[in-house]
Chain A
Amino acid sequence: MSDNLLAPFEPTAADPWDRRRVAHLYRRAAFGATWAELDEGVKLGPQACVERLLKGTGAKGFTDQDLAAVARTAVAAGSDRNLQGWWVLRMMAGPHPLVERLTLFWHDHFATSQDKVANLALMLDQNELFRKHAFGPFWDRQSGGLLLAVSRDPAMLIWLDSNSNRRAAPNENFAREIMELFALGIGNYTEKDIREAARAFTGWFVNKNQFRFSSSEHDTGDKTVLGRTGNWDGHDVVRIIAEQPAAAEFLVGKLYRYLVSENDPPDSAVVDSLSAGLREREYDIGWLASTILRSRLFYSGAAIRQRIASPIDFTIGTARRLEGSRVSPAALADISSRLGQTLFHPPNVAGWEEGKAWINSSTSLGRSNFAQEIVASGGRFAGRTDPAALAAKYGRTTDRDVVQFFLELLVDGDVPGETRERLAASMRTPVENAGVFRSAASEKDAKARRLVQLILSLPEYNLC
């Protein structure tokens, strides 16, 4: 059963490799596809298309060197907003969108906020750590992998008060969260495990923005953590935690929710098979992501549009699909923030709750307002998108073709018949003189802008 679901997807007449499936792949493994990327993806076929995303799309856009310079400038200027903009730029136009996807996953998983860390350089370092370890290993015997690196990361140490973790009085904050949120999940440890683990982490400090171990503050007594007793230190505890069978399942469950579906929980056979594979491969996240992205499961109804677009998905995806390459990344970061997702500022150590939690009437209004702003001919994004020109670039000029083009590009062409009719009717209705689109170059231009605004405001456009 699970082998079947996890076997590579092979197109059939009933389940073709089409724009809809390419769009789905790009929504989950990147940040939305342009029309050209959809066409190209269809030509490549499923396995080559996934391969391309795993290797990085490279080419156009910015190089790692360009981007590193932007980050350094933002940190030097102490500009939180510009650092957010830098990351948005990486997601929009960087060489490796899947790495950015996973970096965002780790940022959410090991949620650390600048609100408390109050040090942009350390936040950037942590972000680069997530990027470097994006494909894992989550943990391995030689290097300790991402889990150990994060446990020693200065921003994390500050965030979870490890920095004041003294022998005489261990601070339980990090010990609790590594078990509850980072590696095992509730039910797989006891309160006593937390207290004992906190003792093992005593003496881990940050000094001059670097990790430092103070042996005089380290508790050298025996500790019993998850049933194992010894004079453990932090490295040992990270290893003991990572060796728990629950760890692989916890991670698989979380990545499944992120890449596949936040509606239905995964089939237990799928979790078992992925967890076993992950353990065999020393927590190779690249293997896990690649197996999921290639699978039949991933291209089935159990996955397609089974997530709600996060503010980052919503804002960056819109800019990418409309090919608004000159849209200000920092402005998109601001909007994402207003919609409930501020990069480098997750709400708490559990990260963003995601799913339905993104949506309430305030953020729904915000999304509608953004839909208008991004296509308005005036305002902060004035001239950054041009829907009529975009449709024309791909050979769509009649009203009917333009409506069909944007429905396919933005919502997989999948809306109720009544909605489709109303959208078509909007193309026959003059744009109001006093409206926001009045300064458009022509009536055709204005109508295309209004059409896209309406589609971006549909319930369907919030699905990812």
Chain B
Amino acid sequence: MFQTRRQFLSTALKSSTLVSMGVTAPTFLCRSALAALDAKGTDRVLVVVQLSGGNDGLNTVVPFGDDLYNKNRNALRIGTGQVLKVDDYVGLHPSLDGFAKLLEEGRLAILQGVGYPNPSRSHFRSMDIWHTASMAEKLPGDGWIGRAIGRSELRREGTVPAMHFGSGKLPLALAGRTTEVPSLASLEDYRLQAGSAGRDQLTAVASAERSAATLQFLQRSTLEAYSTSGRLEEMAKKYDTPVKYPTTELARKLKLIAQLIDARFGTRIFYVSLDGFDTHANQAPMHAQLLSELGGAVKAFVDDIAHHGHLDEVMVMTFSEFGRRVKENGSRGTDHGAGSQMFLAGGKVKPGLIGKHPSLTDLDDGDLKHHTDFRQVYASVLESWLGCPSRDVLGGEFEAVKIVG
């Protein structure tokens, strides 16, 4: 039925990709394939879901029990009767029924009041801060995940430590100095049309040593693509699941990830994005649709992972570059704000609310104040979930938050 890691690797070892590379191929490929055969398949996996555009946290986990919420959200208010109550003060947006079910099952954590000091309201600067985990004037060129996968704790030779699913550019979070993270629009697209003989020739001409840094970068990306695509072709055969995923783009990507996890591909961090949260005007219908896509896809993914027996190996983490102003604007939308919540999902998360909802009276220039730095959450995910020391990755010590239950 499902291909095991062992079956996969023995196929890959026989296939022309590895065998034919000979002296010009990076030797790590052969060594690593052998090393991977001995690996146990219990590596924990992190799936990052980026909500791009600045998700309106206040209408995601709604403080319906607060008069100030009702005052500030005249057109966009989600009433007490509509929210999916978490407790007597906050409830989930009605389109997040997928998350509400996960919460009932004890598979969802809601980290409230997450942000960083002196927040930037620029999409680009703020997203870069979340990606690099740095607030320096001149941000580093690599991202927190890119740095993490450069460390031995997350690197197993011959596996791809992190992968991005999406058609856009590689998120800065995944940029590293030595490793190029693959970025896949879909498994079907990720195929070298030249076939195996063509692959050998292309690999051979691209393999000669280059000295310029940009050429080395281009070369690494090309060679990585040639070798990974060969492996994926073997794997993309078929996948059975009784779970019915919604027909959304996010669900499609998460299903591919479930497939790779089940096939023991060895990747530790997967990254996907859901775009469209920059709701300056006519927010309500768009926001509802986005949250429905988010909740539905993550719920199906967690169910699928559970069905295949990997529930306790996988954690999903969401974030957005900022929340939005407490007060709605005049276009039935919201402008850029600060701070928001993060969601964690999986079999091992500490379920329920973590941290208090930020005050609606004590605002910072019209925005919610955070009480938890997002780098504390990264530190916790790195240390207590992925088993990777966080100090060097994050450029400092950040007090952990208890997220694993």
Contact = CB atoms under 8 A, between A and B. Distances in A.
B136 interface: no
A432 B197 contact: yes
A47 interface: no
Contacts of B43: none
Given A191-B365, A308-B214, A365-B192, A454 B201 contact: yes
A457 to B, nearest CB: 5
B204 interface: yes
Interface residues of A, number: 62
Interface in B166-225: 167-170, 175, 180-185, 189-195, 197-198, 201-202, 204-206, 208-210, 214-215, 217-219, 221-222, 224-225
Contacts of A356: 175, 214, 217
A194 to B, nearest CB: 8
A348 interface: yes
A360 B214 contact: no
A361 B183 contact: yes
Nearest to B141: A356
Interface stretch (A17-25, A27-35, A225-233, A366-374): A366-374
A258 interface: no
A168 interface: yes
B247 to A, nearest CB: 20
B336 interface: yes
A418 B208 contact: yes
Nearest to B168: A347
Given A422-B204, A457-B202, A459-B210, A360 B229 contact: no
B221 A422 contact: no
A180 B224 contact: no
B336 A360 contact: no
Contacts of B168: 340, 347
B329 interface: yes
A457 B123 CA distance: 35
Interface stretch (A101-109, A169-177, A386-394): A169-177
Given A263-B214, A459-B215, A360 B221 contact: yes
Given A457-B202, A459-B215, A171 B329 contact: yes
A161 B184 CA distance: 32
B281 interface: yes
A365 B226 CA distance: 7
B359 interface: no
A369 B208 contact: no
A143 interface: no
Given A360-B183, A432-B197, A459-B206, A176 B225 contact: no
B164 interface: yes
B335 interface: yes
B333 interface: yes
A192 to B, nearest CB: 9
A345 to B, nearest CB: 11
Interface string A436-464: 10000000000000100110011110110
Interface in A349-378: 349-350, 352-353, 356-366, 368-369, 372-373
Given A459-B218, A463-B215, A368 B123 contact: no
A368 B336 contact: no
Contact of A360 (B180, B191, B206): B180
Contacts of B219: 459
B170 A419 contact: no
B182 A361 contact: yes
B189 A426 contact: no
Contacts of A340: 167-169
Contacts of A359: 217-218, 221
Contacts of A361: 180-183, 221-222, 224-225, 228-229
A186 interface: yes
A423 interface: yes
Nearest to A352: B169
B177 to A, nearest CB: 12
Question: Which of A361, A418, A460 gathers the greatest number of chain B CB atoms within 10 Å?
Answer: A361
Given A161-B333, A359-B221, A191 B121 contact: yes
Given A161-B281, A186-B122, A357-B169, A362 B184 contact: yes
Question: Which of A168, A364, A372 gathers the greatest number of chain B CB atoms within 10 Å?
Answer: A364
B331 interface: yes
Contact of A373 (B190, B191, B193): B193
13 contacts: A164-B281, A165-B331, A171-B333, A171-B335, A173-B335, A176-B122, A338-B189, A361-B222, A361-B224, A361-B229, A435-B195, A459-B222, A462-B218
Given A426-B205, A435-B195, 8 more contacts: A170-B329, A172-B280, A365-B191, A416-B209, A426-B201, A436-B193, A450-B201, A463-B218
